[in-house]
Amino acid sequence: MQTTKLVREILTIVALLLQTLEVDTRWSQWWTYDEGISGPNYWGLMNPGWSLCNKGHNQSPVNIDPKSLLFDPSLSPLEINGEAVSGVLLNLGHFLTLEVDQTNHWAPGINITGGPLSYNYRVSQMTIHFSHSDQDGSEHTIDGRGFSAEIQIYAYNSDLYTNMSKAMTSPRGILCLAVLVKVGQELHHHFERIHRVINDTLYKGDRLVIPYFNLRALLPDTKHYMTYEGSLTNPACFETVTWVIYNRPIYISQQQITGLRRLKQDTVSNPVLLMAGNIRPLQPLYQRTIRANINFVERSCSMERDMNYIGTINSDHFHDSRHYSVP
């Protein structure tokens, strides 16, 4: 009881202090992925506008249990038009992000439809999540097991909304493609475009213009995926996101993941805090269903060992590579 009372008093004091700051600084800069009062357990308590972070029943990320997946024959492959984008690579402290320039005619962007989508979605942003270890760097997990990193590619509903900001607060507003990442023997040639400029975005606030980037080349070579309705994984945790998680990972080298782990949470004046660990804890699935376009019965659920995370309905067959998919 005393501990609970003390926490409430601290939260009240912090909230009063934050009221004296500018709105943008007060909220967008204050939250963290730490275990303290700025961390995920308190996001929804400090700001009423973030209440979904604590009270929502459609939150992300989630664990994907292979045994509970529902095969949906209506899920067609995604239709992805375009491959290259231009934009600004930016260290936000919370994560490294590529903000896509929607006006560049040399890299006209990427549009996505099909699959679980009823509208057209236009790619607007890419973020990268990772940790200090190769086993728990992804926000989503498969059968309780994590991956080295997770690349999240966000697109907004361009049929109904004019931009990402409007779409993220609106129904059917956002699509997020989740690409799970593992460490392999060879570097990923297209991810190397990011790795080569890590030093230019090492500290919070650092930014670099990327005139041309083949974002589509970061997607795994597969038509199979899992999908569910969820939320943003950072405040304000709006429940407006259709998630698509590919059933195969991509591979980057040890050198490339080490480069990510050098990124800092703060500016050059406070270089101690590392960005690694920018992962929201798993959220309850509640009554949601995760659908897949993988017909296990038709494909006989192969038990063959391979180098991808596909696997088998039986989680015992994830092996060292912890795959989930069908050959």
Two structure tokens written together for 275? 């960005």
b/e per residue 150-162 (b: at least 16 CB within 10 A): bbbbbbbbbeebe
The torsion region of residue 94 among left (phi > 0), alpha (psi -120 to 50) and beta comes to: alpha
Non-local CB neighbours of 42 within 8 Å, separated by 6+ positions: 11, 36
Two structure tokens written together for 226? 């899992």
Is the Cβ–Cβ distance between 89 and 123 less than 8 Å?
Answer: no
The one-letter code for the residue type at 190 is: H
What's the CA gap between 327 and 319, in Å, rounded? 15
Given the residues 33, 154, 156, 161, the one annotated as active site:
161
What's the CA gap between 26 and 289, in Å, rounded? 36
Specify the 3-state DSSP secondary structure of 87: strand
What's the CA gap between 239 and 179, in Å, rounded? 20
Let me know if 161 is a catalytic residue: yes
What's the CA gap between 240 and 168, in Å, rounded? 6
Query: What's the DSSP call for residue 75?
Result: -
The one-letter code for the residue type at 224 is: H
Two structure tokens written together for 9? 């008093």
Element (H, E) at 103: none
Catalogue the active-site residues.
161
